[in-house]
Amino acid sequence: MLVTGPMDVQLIASSVFDLPSSQRVDAIVYDGTTDMRIWPGPGPDRELAEQYGGELQSQLDRERARLDAGELEIGEMLRLHRGKLHCDFLLWIATRPPEDRGIRAPAPKAEIVTRAVKDALAFVAERHVKRVAFAPLGDGPDAVDEVQRLVLIARAANAFYDERFSSGQATPIEECLICHPYSSRISAARRQLGRDVKVVAEPTRPASSPSGTTTRRRRVASGGTASKRKAPARKVAPTLSEDEIGRARATAETYDRARTYAVGDYFRHSKFGVGRVEEITPEGFIMVLFEGGDTRRLLHARP
């Protein structure tokens, strides 16, 4: 059987749990421990549990009770109910050993993440999934840099497709989305991938050709005739320095919507990382600059 068509790999500047309805996927891939326990502290596990809707650990416990060994092997997968996630099912793949005595398990090695991506894609392909999304797999103590992990996932996805194509196996997957909420991380990953991997650019307000297909904006080389006007200087977006981020990670408290914040306050957000309050709006919200470069509006002083 020949492959059914190309599989586009896309790096998306969005949490895998906050994709717009136009990018709804059939499956979300998430990696965790072999004993399927959710880490209670800040991090990806907490975000998943919050987005899932509060019943995730109960669901995992029920699935674990059905296993002969009481836990998965590294690389084994479970298909879970979607909960409140915007997909058809959640695919849990084990990449780390159990947490021991309140100490987080070490992050999986690069080769385990690569194998997990390929195995997850094979799993969903057998179930005729057309659109699949990956969270940034491989989190944990001593984890590979986030950008490198995004690159690793993209290369593994591309290798999966090449292997299936060369062997003549069917590949019903049309789109593989690799998600991260910080646009700076996505941009850095795209630069590193270069032309080694076919990565479809994420369209932002795409223009349409007469036939209705999406077209990319073209850059006009210097000296071109497209415009004689000098482009206005770009404003440099504010960012948090590495020193600020390091100090805040060590000393700042966790974000609390009930607390009243002032401009210049720092806190740690379970989803967006270190943030600094930039402005308090007339409506009573705070505008917060986060370490990834994004500015978000949050609640405060709300008991």
On the question of pLDDT at 33 being above 60, the answer is yes
Which pLDDT score, from 0 to 100, does residue 282 have? 82
Residue burial 189-224, b: 16+ Cβ < 10 Å; e: rest = bbeebeeebebeebeeeeeeeeeeeeeeeeeeeeee
Which pLDDT score, from 0 to 100, does residue 220 have? 33
101: confidence class by pLDDT, cuts 50, 70, 90: confident
Closest to 11 measured CA to CA, from 207, 176, 257: 176
Sorted by where each begins, the domain ranges of the chain are 8-202, 242-298
What CA–CA distance (Å, rounded) separates 100 from 282?
A: 47
- The arithmetic mean of pLDDT across residues 201-223, rounded, is 39
**Residues 54-71 pLDDT 10s:** 789 999 999 999 998 889
227: confidence class by pLDDT, cuts 50, 70, 90: very low
- Please give the distance of CA 9 from its chain centroid, rounded to a whole number: 13
The answer to whether the beta carbons of residues 221 and 215 sit under 8 Å apart is no
What CA–CA distance (Å, rounded) separates 189 from 207?
A: 24
% of residues, the chain, pLDDT over 90? 46
Window from 144-158, 159-173, 183-197 with minimum mean pLDDT: 183-197
Phi, psi of 31 (to 5 degrees): -105, 145
- Structure token pair of residue 268: 């740690």
Residues sharing a CB contact under 8 Å with residue 61, sequence separation 6 or more, in sequence order:
36
Q: Considering the entire predicted model, what is its pTM?
A: 0.66
- The mean predicted confidence, pLDDT, of the chain is 83
**Residues 120-161 pLDDT 10s:** 999 999 999 999 999 999 998 889 889 999 999 999 999 999
What CA–CA distance (Å, rounded) separates 267 from 261?
A: 10
**Position with higher pLDDT, 276 vs 203:** 276
What CA–CA distance (Å, rounded) separates 273 from 22?
A: 27
Q: Confirm or reject CATH 3.30.70.890 for domain 8-202, answering yes or no.
A: no
DSSP label at residue 193: H
- What is the architecture of the domain spanning 242-298? Beta Barrel (2.40)
